[in-house]
Amino acid sequence: MMGPPGAGKGTQAMVVAEKLGIPHISTGEILRANVGHGTELGILAKGYMDRGEYVPDEATNQMVAERLAAPDAGNGFLLDGYPRTLDQVAELDKMLEPAGLEIEKVIELTADTDEVVIRLLKRAEDQGRADDTEDVIRRRMEVYAEQTAPLIEVYGSRGLLVQVDGMGTVDEVRDRILASLRG
Ligand code: AMP
């Protein structure tokens, strides 16, 4: 599941994974948990996250490889917010291939920029995330455009990309995603 910051990726990944009965693997959540517990990874990641930058690929890739090796990932999973760079795309391919696994679909949640900023500022009030201030939101959007938007073409050319309008209620968007996965 990919999409610009504030498109509703995390919420939708959670409800869709639950509906499909597969684990929801959010790199952002795993990183935030590491920051919260003060692990070595968390200490490394915090500065990048607070500035709206991506955590270095090497650390992120290793974290995902470990998560995918857990037994519950053997029957499918929904990756939320990973891969986010071309290097991560290549690494994910390398993780899946030896296990005989492949990505079935890539969902891109699309969103209107103004709406997204409003959503993120609201989330800042509700959840108090350190990376939801206006400057950092702007930086996260730039980073998405520079480093993650190119993945749309990569997965598009592989025939895996499904674009879903992320505007609307949680239920409306969820139903669109589930319909597009069936189609
Ligand atoms: P998210 O919860 O998906 O919005 O992610 C929050 C933050 O965690 C991002 O702004 C990045 O700093 C970091 N992050 C999450 N996923 C990745 C990833 N795949 N690669 C690099 N950094 C990531």
Alpha-carbon distance of 27 to 129, in angstroms, equals 15
pLDDT band (50, 70, 90) for residue 113: confident
Q: Rounded to whole angstroms, what are the CA distances from 167 to 113, 125, 137, 140?
A: 11, 20, 18, 19
Per the residue annotation, which of 9, 119, 174, 176 is the catalytic one?
Answer: 9
Alpha-carbon distance of 177 to 183, in angstroms, equals 10
Whether the per-residue pLDDT at 150 is higher than 80: the answer is yes
What is the per-residue pLDDT for 21? 96
Give the H/E segment covering residue 150.
helix 150-157
Global pTM value: 0.93
Q: For this structure, is 158 an active site residue?
A: no
Q: In this predicted model, what pLDDT tens digit does every residue of 37-90 receive, in sequence order?
A: 999 999 999 999 999 999 999 999 999 999 999 999 988 999 999 999 999 999
**Can you tell me whether residue 82 is helix, strand or coil?**
coil
Beta partners for residue 107, in sequence order: 162
Mean pLDDT on 114-136: 83
CA of 32 to the centre of ligand 1 (A): 9
> Whose CA is closest to 24, among 68, 80, 64?
80
Q: For this structure, is 139 an active site residue?
A: no
Q: For this structure, is 129 an active site residue?
A: yes
What is the per-residue pLDDT for 112? 86
CA of 49 to the centre of ligand 1 (A): 7
